[in-house]
Structure 1
Amino acid sequence: MAEAGATRRIAEWVAEVPRARTAQVAGLAADGMRDAIGCILAGAGEETPRRVAAAVARWGGGQARVVGSGQGLAAPWAALVNGAAAHVLDYDDTFAPLSGHATAVLVPAILALGEETGASGPELLDALVVGLEVMACVGRGVNPRHYALGWHATATIGAIGAAGACARLLRLPARATCDALSLAVSMAAGTRMQLGAMAKSVHAGLAAKAGVLAAAMAAEGVGGAAEALEGQWRFAEMFAGRPAPDGAFDPPGDNAKLAIEAVGISYKAYPTCAATHLSLDALLALRAATSFGAEDVAAIETELPMVLRRNLMHPRPTTGMEARFSMEYCLAAAATQGRLGLDDFEGDAIHRAPIRVLMPRIEMRGLPEADGAPPPATSVRVTLRDGRVLDETREIRRGAPENPMTQADHAAKFRDCAARMLPAERVDTAAAAIAALAAGGGARGLLDALVR
């Protein structure tokens, strides 16, 4: 018998990995769940998810609820709306093998399908761990070239990972799981041209919706090509322009750490594009050490890898969404006030005079990256009017597994996010419901705590 292809190997792992193995990292999964749900709550009242919810409401209701409003929708539509909310403020985590935002796709898909099917808390966390592993397998096979070509991996690889997570939640056998992954490849789409537009945050929702649909169709016997990742017209060739390295798609062996532990999730300390974060870390460290103000600054220069620089395409933003993809705005705001938070991207905040005066003094340069070499470090140089020159370099951003935020930081972020949608007395209830997932709980009880 011929050796199973990459898609089948991943599908067999998804269907057969022991639940006792994923339970060993349930605490890490709960951390990811908390961060994603906080981001959904923070974004639920934003214009983009509200408009998406209005668009899909015309097709009727269902058993899966929209976080915040409690609007009942069919699971694919609830996943779409909650995914848009998770990503709209760009406060959601990143996952290195994916080169994108993992839980902003996985958690909306898992919550929607889980509420519809009555999934337990341990089942939700198990599905999250499995979905991350699928994203890691596919990401290793096509990145960094896939991302460098301009694909928004949150939308493309995200759809495949969500299909794996949903197949796990539905307890599909390997053959049907293979179909789910194959169907998701047919729904994988989205490019980085949408950075700064409403469509960019919708990408996370579209990937979540694709995962729910792919798994549900596979459960009903809808089939796809048996091999969807390797070979002619398959994902690697079409989306990365080359075959995957040998073994890149392979799931972890019995004694290997799972991706959620071996790689880890990188959480965001600022509600901006991740490409700004190392520069922000460096600038805020300099400001804390020197206590300069915006009026003291003659110039700020930052150098960062070209692949990150390309994401920051709005030097003079006109909206809060564009400002999240503006190095000039983010550094000017941070230099002016010594912090950067959700309120800095709302209403007229981006037009504040002290920030706009400083923005023309900020210069960003992209550094070329050699194939196969680690990305160059990010540096910031601040020249003060009194002649002093301050330099700082960063390679690992705050919130990455190697430079983690504290539990107090995570708790504060969740409270800040959740308070934008829930009454103060309900914020602790929501946090407790998430913490209770590993011990029992369930999707329906969790959603009860996440609606006003």
Structure 2
Amino acid sequence: MLTRKLGEIVSSAVRSGTSESAREAAKPGIIDTVATMLAGRREAPVTILLRACGALPAGAAKEVAGLSATRAAEAALINGVAAHVLDFDDVALRGHPSAVMVPAILALAAELGSSGREALDAYVVGYQVWGELVQREPGMHHIKGWHPTSVFGSVGAAAACAALLRLDAGRAAHAIGLGATQSAGLMANFGSMSKSFQAGRAAQAGVWAARLAQEGFTAGADVIEHPQGFLNAFSPAGKADTERPLADPAQGWTIAQQPVSIKKYPTCFYTHRTLDSILAARALTDIPADQVRDVQVHMSREHATVLRNHRPETGLAAKFSIEFAAASALLFGRAGLSELTDSVAQDARVQALMSRVSTVLSTDYSAEWQGAAVADWAVIHLADGRRIKTAPVTHAQGHAMRPLEKPDLDAKFGDCVRAGGAGVDADRLLGKLWRLEDEPICELWS
């Protein structure tokens, strides 16, 4: 029944649309993802992928790496990798929903000639299905080794693409099942090129799933809830709730109730509270980096486990290192795109300071954020005998409970476009995205 009911959510939205409030709530995630797609377009994983793809087939969907028009499936793959490669994309629903869904939606919408309003509705629907599934799991997928972004992303993208294709409930359910059977992704790849590839493949899987279902390709009728189906197969302890009824979108869409968090730093979101805490202390107190004897970062075991790289030597690996985050904050007073590079990670000063950073595991858990401590902070000991305890941070800047203001979102967009060097008119594109409900997707890049 659960698989079928999810298909009905898609078909209902096809018939009646979603809501104005949900579409407005979807815009920040779409805007931020276009920004990170453009920022990441020249990164090594993207350029290698483009070479490996060879000559791309002609189509109507824009891929950001070579700025050519190709088929939706190829564009979704390339743009999904570009969106996620810098780890600067938004966070929600225990993963990165927009980095998977937006590349799939924009690619397929361009191919279909869909309106911006239809693309927004597709995002809302995909987000709803993703949220329905991920919130049925009491455990933490990361600890088992799964990458939730790509595991749930292929299903969310499939639902979104099914909405764009205007599939009925039965075919939408098959699309969701076909997305589920392509789910994959390992946490052990965090800090490597494969992490962003997992997101790109999930985006591509969503396009393929919906296209296959449209043509009559089928999946198991109970593939989501079956004892050997999606939820139970990926459940860390086999405790997924397959019985609870679906939330009624008429009572509020998930995107409006649980909006995305927009990243201020291009690092794993689990580093952001510590970064905010140390940077705030550094702004108020003289903390000479060369006088730091040791740094003790207080955080949960679960978050420390995900931050698996303790002495990273590449910019990618540094994104999943609390040691690098602390060192960058203390040495440079920032942790931006210019710091998350191989050369900075290999800098002797950074390596030396990272060796003096350790974690203290907190058992005081947040009631609202799975696997997180109530707050993160640091204790810094200096050679002159001073002990500096930074202020505990419950919600990082950019968190949905502490959102960035529109001028900050716009500034990040401009910075990302410039970093990507695509020659895009950032202000013009940004204006179209804020008015997306009135813009045909095929004219978005013109």
When the two structures are superposed, what TM-score results if normalisation uses the length of structure 2? 0.93
Q: Which residue in the other structure is 1:51 paired with? A: 48
Shift of 1:234: 0.6
Root-mean-square deviation (CA, aligned residues, Å) is: 2.0
Verify the 8 A CA contact 1:23 1:126 in the aligned structure 2.
no
- Give the deviation of 1:395 after TM superposition: 2.0
For each residue in 1:295-315, what CA deviation from the matched residue of structure 2 results, as whole angstroms up to 9, or x when unmatched?
232221102111111111221
Runs of 4+ in 1 over 4 A off after TM superposition: 246-249, 368-374, 422-425
Q: Which of 271, 287, 292 in structure 2 is aligned with 1:276?
A: 271
Q: Secondary structure at the match of 1:90?
A: coil
Name the amino acid aligned to 2:73: P
Distance 2:74 2:341 in 1: 27
Q: Could you tell me which runs of 5 or more consecutive residues in structure 2 were left unpaired when the two chains were aligned.
A: none
CA contact (8 A) 2:262 2:399 kept: yes
Does the aligned pair in 2 maintain the 1:13–1:251 contact within 8 Å?
A: no
Specify the code of the residue in structure 2 equivalent to 1:31. P
Task: Report what 1:25 is aligned to.
Answer: 22
Residues of 1 paired with 2:101 and 2:424: CA distance?
28
Which residue among 93, 99, 106 is the counterpart of 2:90?
A: 93
Report the counterpart of residue 410 of structure 1 in structure 2: 409
Which residue number in structure 1 is paired with residue 78 of structure 2? 81
Tell me if the contact between 1:133 and 1:251 (Cα under 8 Å) persists in the aligned partners: no
Match of 1:398 in 2: 397
The residue identity in structure 2 corresponding to 1:38 is A
**Is 2:302 the partner of 1:307?**
yes
CA distance in 1, matches of 2:22, 2:249: 16
Is this contact kept in 2: 1:132–1:259, CA < 8 A? yes
What does the per-residue CA deviation read over 1:147-199, in whole Å, with 9 as the maximum and x for residues that have no partner?
Answer: 33111011111100000000011111100000000111110011101111111
User: Are 1:19 and 1:126, in contact at CA under 8 Å, matched by a contact in 2?
Assistant: no
- In structure 1, how many angstroms separate the alpha carbons of the residues matched to 2:140 and 2:342? 37
> Is 1:343 aligned with 2:338?
yes
2:115 counterpart of 1:116: no
Using structure 1 for the length normalisation, give the TM-score. Answer: 0.92
Distance 2:423 2:107 in 1: 25
Residue among 269, 273, 292 paired with 2:287: 292
Quote the sequence identity (%).
33
User: Does the 8 Å CA contact 1:133/1:260 hold for their aligned counterparts?
Assistant: yes
Q: What is the SS of the residue equivalent to 2:256?
A: helix
Give SS of 1:344's match. Answer: coil
The answer (yes or no) to whether the contact 2:314–2:346 under 8 Å persists in 1 is no
| Aligned ranges 1:55-70 → 2 under 5 Å | 55-58=52-55, 60-70=57-67
Task: After superposing the two structures, state which structure 1 stretch, 353-362 or 154-163, moved more.
Answer: 353-362
Q: Which moved more, 1:244-253 or 1:142-151?
A: 244-253
Partner in structure 1 of residue 121 of structure 2 = 126
* Amino acid corresponding to residue 410 of structure 1 in structure 2: L
Name structure 1 gaps, 5 residues minimum: none
* TM-superposition CA deviations, 1:277-333 (whole Å, max 9, x none): 111111111111213231232221102111111111221112111111111112101
**Residue in 1 that maps onto 2:439:** 441
Q: For residues 44 and 424 of structure 1, do their structure 2 counterparts lie closer, same or farther at Cα, with a shift above 3 Å needed?
A: closer
1:356 alignment partner AA:
Q
Q: State the match for 2:5 in structure 1.
A: 9
Provide the residue aligned with 1:382 in structure 2.
Answer: 380
Q: Which moved more, 1:310-319 or 1:356-365?
A: 356-365
Deviation per CA, 1:13-56: give whole Å up to 9, x if none: 11103645333322221111110100000001111011112222
- Tell me how far 1:350 sits from its aligned partner: 2.0
Contact 2:261 2:399 in 1 (8 A): yes
Cα distance change on mapping 1:211 and 1:441 into 2, 3 Å: same
- Aligned to 1:298, the other structure's residue is in SS state strand
Kindly provide the CA deviation profile for residues 246-303 of structure 1, in whole angstroms up to 9, marking residues without a partner as x. Answer: 654613342x221111111011110001121111111111111213231232221102
Q: The residue matched to 1:62 in structure 2 has which SS?
A: strand
What is the CA distance between 1:230 and its match in structure 2?
1.1
Where does residue 175 of structure 1 map in the other structure? 170
Deviation at 1:104, TM superposition (A): 0.2
**One-letter amino acid of the structure 2 residue matched with residue 23 of structure 1:** E
Q: How many residues align?
A: 440
CA distance in 2, matches of 1:232, 1:126: 31
CA distance in structure 2 between the partners assigned to 1:102 and 1:445 by the alignment: 24
Q: Distance between the aligned counterparts of 1:177 and 1:265, measured in 2?
A: 25
Cα 1:38/1:253, change in 2 over 3 Å? closer
Structure 1: distance between partners of 2:127 and 2:118: 14
Q: Distance in 2 between matches of 1:184 and 1:406?
A: 35
